[in-house]
């Protein structure tokens, strides 16, 4: 199989990249390869909205303020020119999507409505009730079909193949048949999404957010950047960790402890519930730690998100999905009762290192979306900035990949890698499992949440890392595939995903131990202060053939705003 431009991933980043690529050059073969049907990508779960300084609600808003808020939110670890590019592109790309047919919610005057969001100084988040990602994903998919993008649905990418200088292609399993193939491509865009499933059982992410592309990049010798930064969203449902969008607080929801206090007044007196996510998550955990949280019969600790004062009409109009989720998964109607919530692992700031053109160090290999780290989110992403990031950089990646494909031919090689992958899968299929995948995944989630959670310290992390190493060793020794069939073998797929999760968890743990400071989402009790003198750098990690890591320090672009203390 051969395609000029092969995009792996059909979330917002992959679909926007595909759309830009076909519009750029109709004569190239552009294909999207995806393990789930495109409209089931995690982008479809995004609720709250997408940021752009349209100034529809507050006429004093502008792109410069958006840039500053994002940099401040990032705790000064974002690359400032890259942030500026994203924020100035935002109004253009929102209008482009509006013209494609994305059904945004409207103000009385017909303009796109905007709501307040965490860490933003103005009402800047464009929305479609609480289903922003869903409507974006469906509209982009329709547009791709209209423009003739080819879809390889339900194909699972295994590895990225290159010759040390440029892209050769990827190896992938056709899930429907179980056949493993080498797909050659002049350019490849990795748009495989995030990896918060390493916190199995404690995450808002879909089952498929297993960092497959990020792990494959690591195996292919590409650098991963800022992997220690993983954001906890303050409001996951108590039992399932399913997300309750920031829109709930944007619309005026209150966080309350067991004493009925709006405790955010202690931690962010000005922004209150709309402080940035890292701060709000820590505040909730602090209340729980100090005994002011609730505890249910099963020992789960939580606080309340109270929407009751918003009234039935507003909840039904602006937050219908949140109401449904609270009823289905907690048995609680937010019109009548507060929602039990706790922080949930939500978003990976770290990922595959690229420059602003979405280029990795290997020619013809690009990354976009949550899998990518430019970095525009630094140590902490603001709500509404990811849906923006994925389309802005999806657009760039699509164009750059076309430009490269136009000037090159298919590279030779890759047969060895294909053979290796087929052998690896045969081995897994023939092995008897001595432990079960389900138990091991839960164990991974427990280790990560307990030892690499909202609060961290050296001792806890070292203990956690030892447990993780043991789990990795056992998984390689004891885990096989129970289901021996070739057709739609989801047991095999889940096992491969689990191996990817383990690789990512390993890097995240390793990177966390190197950073002896607190910054944005990354908080250590033993080093509670930000330390610009020693740690204002991007961590860059590559893997050696023997499995050890190389750790380097990448420069942060602070050319626009001097780092300052964050106050909210
Ligand atoms: C519950 C929730 C709510 C959110 N709400 C918001 C919000 O309101 N605003 C905001 O800005 N951000 C929000 N986010 C974050 C944002 O939605 C995501 O960061 C973003 O959608 C990621 O898009 P993506 O295209 O990079 O990846 P995804 O949408 O996750 O898509 C990944 C794609 O890669 C494919 N893939 C992965 N691995 C493989 C493989 N091995 N082989 C083949 N294909 C593969 C998948 O099939 C999928 O198509 C939310 C996130 C969550 C989880």
Closest CA to 512 of 470, 549, 566, 474: 549
β-strand 125-126 against 114-115: which pairing, if any? antiparallel
Residues 6 or more apart whose Cβ sits within 8 Å of residue 24: 398, 399, 402, 403
Instruction: In whole angstroms, give the CA distance from residue 513 to residue 507.
Output: 10
Instruction: In whole angstroms, give the CA distance from residue 465 to residue 400.
Output: 39
pTM (global) more than 0.95: yes
Tell whether ligand 1 has an atom less than 6 A from the beta carbon of residue 204: yes
Within 13 Å and on the Cβ side, how many CA atoms surround 74? 34
Compute, in angstroms, the gap from residue 347 CA to the centroid of ligand 1: 9
Q: H or E element: which one contains 161?
A: strand 155-162
Ligand 1 probe mutation, 38, 181, 193, 249, most atoms within 8 A of CB: 193
Instruction: In whole angstroms, give the CA distance from residue 133 to residue 313.
Output: 23
Parts of the chain with a pLDDT under 50: none
> Is 323 assigned a catalytic role?
no
Instruction: Give the relative orientation of helices 490-514 and 458-478 as an angle to the nearest 10 degrees.
Output: 150
Instruction: In whole angstroms, give the CA distance from residue 557 to residue 113.
Output: 33
The atom of ligand 1 lying closest to the CA of 127 is 8
Question: What is the sign, positive or negative, of the torsion defined by CA atoms of 516, 522, 528, 532?
Answer: positive
Closest CA to 500 of 97, 129, 219: 219
Compute, in angstroms, the gap from residue 329 CA to the centroid of ligand 1: 22
Tell whether ligand 1 has an atom less than 6 A from the beta carbon of residue 373: no
Closest CA to 189 of 375, 23, 3: 3
For 50, phi then psi, to 5°, come to -135, 135
CB atoms within 10 A of CB 3: 23
Reported as a single tens digit per residue, the pLDDT across 305-323 is: 999 999 999 999 999 999 9
Task: Say if CB 125 and CB 49 are below 8 A apart.
Answer: yes
Closest CA to 517 of 529, 507, 506: 529
The atom of ligand 1 lying closest to the CA of 242 is 1
For 539, phi then psi, to 5°, come to -80, 135
Tell whether ligand 1 has an atom less than 6 A from the beta carbon of residue 418: no
Residues 6 or more apart whose Cβ sits within 8 Å of residue 314: 251
The atom of ligand 1 lying closest to the CA of 386 is 11
Q: By CB neighbour count within 10 A (0-12 exposed, 13-18 middle, 19+ buried), where does 84 fall?
A: buried
Tell whether ligand 1 has an atom less than 6 A from the beta carbon of residue 12: yes
Instruction: In whole angstroms, give the CA distance from residue 338 to residue 62.
Output: 35
Residues 6 or more apart whose Cβ sits within 8 Å of residue 424: none
Tell whether ligand 1 has an atom less than 6 A from the beta carbon of residue 9: yes
Instruction: In whole angstroms, give the CA distance from residue 325 to residue 341.
Output: 12
The DSSP secondary-structure symbol of 435 reads S
pLDDT for 360 = 98
pLDDT for 567 = 86
Instruction: In whole angstroms, give the CA distance from residue 368 to residue 358.
Output: 6
According to the 3-state scheme, what is the secondary structure of 91-144?
HHHHHHHHHHCCCCCECCCCCECEECCCCCCCCCEECCCCCHHHHHHHHHHHHH
DSSP SS3 for 35: coil
Name the active-site residue from 124, 277, 381, 530.
277
DSSP SS3 for 349: coil
Domains of the chain by start residue, with CATH: 2-48+83-103+130-230+347-406 (3.50.50.60), 235-343 (3.90.700.10), 435-554 (1.20.58.100)
Closest CA to 558 of 537, 541, 540, 539: 537
Within 13 Å and on the Cβ side, how many CA atoms surround 457? 6
Q: H or E element: which one contains 341?
A: strand 339-348
Residues 6 or more apart whose Cβ sits within 8 Å of residue 46: 12, 132, 133, 134, 136, 386, 387
Closest CA to 233 of 201, 280, 193: 280
Q: H or E element: which one contains 348?
A: strand 339-348
Tell whether ligand 1 has an atom less than 6 A from the beta carbon of residue 390: yes
Reported as a single tens digit per residue, the pLDDT across 378-435 is: 999 999 999 999 999 999 999 999 999 999 999 999 999 999 999 999 999 999 999 9
Respond yes or no on whether the N-terminal peptide bond of residue 375 is cis (omega within 30° of 0). Answer: yes
Residues 6 or more apart whose Cβ sits within 8 Å of residue 168: 161, 162, 184, 185, 411, 412, 413, 414
The DSSP secondary-structure symbol of 373 reads E
> What DSSP line would sit under 499-543, residue for residue?
HHHHHHHHHHHHHHHH--S-BTTB-BTTB-S--HHHH-SEEEEEE
């Amino acid at each position: 199989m051969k395609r000029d431009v092969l995009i792996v991933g059909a979330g917002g980043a992959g679909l926007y990249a595909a759309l830009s690529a076909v519009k750029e050059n109709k004569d190239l073969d552009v294909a999207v390869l995806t393990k789930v049907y495109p409209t089931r990508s995690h982008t479809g779960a995004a609720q709250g909205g997408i940021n752009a300084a349209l100034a529809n609600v507050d006429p004093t808003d502008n792109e410069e303020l958006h840039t500053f808020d994002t940099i401040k939110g990032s705790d000064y670890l974002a690359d400032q020119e890259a942030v500026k590019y994203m924020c100035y592109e935002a109004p253009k790309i929102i209008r482009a999507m509006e013209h494609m047919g994305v059904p945004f919610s409207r103000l009385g005057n017909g303009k796109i409505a905007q709501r307040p969001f965490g860490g933003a100084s103005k009402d800047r988040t464009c929305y479609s009730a609480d289903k922003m990602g869903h409507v974006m994903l469906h509209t982009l998919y329709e547009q791709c079909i209209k423009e003739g993008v080819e879809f390889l649905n339900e194909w699972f990418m295994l590895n990225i193949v290159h010759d040390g200088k440029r892209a050769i292609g990827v190896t992938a399993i056709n899930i429907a048949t179980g056949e493993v193939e080498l797909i050659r491509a002049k350019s490849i865009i990795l748009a495989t999404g995030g990896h918060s499933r390493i916190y199995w059982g404690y995450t808002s992410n879909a089952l498929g957010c297993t960092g497959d592309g990020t792990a494959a990049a690591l195996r292919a010798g590409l650098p991963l950047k800022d992997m220690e930064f993983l954001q906890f969203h303050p409001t996951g449902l108590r039992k399932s960790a399913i997300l309750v969008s920031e829109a709930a607080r944007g619309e005026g929801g209150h966080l309350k402890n067991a004493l009925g206090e709006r405790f955010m007044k202690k931690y962010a007196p000005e922004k209150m519930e709309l402080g940035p996510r890292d701060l709000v998550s820590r505040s909730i955990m602090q209340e729980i730690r100090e005994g002011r949280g609730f505890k249910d019969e099963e020992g789960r600790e939580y606080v309340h998100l109270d929407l009751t004062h918003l009234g039935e009409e507003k909840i039904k109009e602006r937050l219908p999905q949140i109401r449904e989720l609270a009823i289905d998964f907690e048995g609680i109607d937010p019109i009548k009762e507060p929602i039990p919530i706790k922080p949930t692992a939500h978003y990976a700031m770290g990922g595959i290192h690229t420059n602003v053109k979405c280029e990795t160090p290997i020619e013809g290999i690009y990354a976009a979306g949550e899998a990518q780290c430019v970095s525009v989110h630094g140590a902490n992403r603001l709500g509404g900035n990811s849906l923006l990031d994925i389309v802005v950089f999806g657009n760039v990646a699509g164009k750059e990949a076309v430009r490269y494909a136009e000037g090159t031919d298919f590279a030779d090689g890759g047969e060895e890698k294909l053979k290796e992958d087929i052998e690896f899968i045969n081995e897994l299929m023939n092995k008897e499992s001595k432990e079960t995948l389900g138990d091991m995944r839960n164990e991974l989630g427990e280790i990560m949440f307990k030892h690499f959670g909202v609060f961290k310290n050296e001792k806890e992390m070292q203990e956690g890392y030892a447990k993780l190493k043991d789990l990795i060793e056992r998984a390689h020794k004891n885990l096989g595939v129970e289901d021996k069939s070739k057709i739609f073998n989801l047991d095999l797929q889940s096992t491969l995903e689990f191996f990817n999760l383990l690789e990512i968890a390993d890097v995240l743990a390793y990177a966390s131990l190197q950073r002896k400071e607190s910054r944005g989402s990354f908080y250590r009790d033993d080093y509670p202060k930000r330390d610009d003198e020693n740690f204002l750098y991007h961590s860059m990690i590559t893997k050696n053939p023997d499995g050890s890591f190389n750790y380097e320090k990448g420069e942060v672009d602070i050319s626009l705003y001097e780092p300052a203390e964050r106050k909210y």
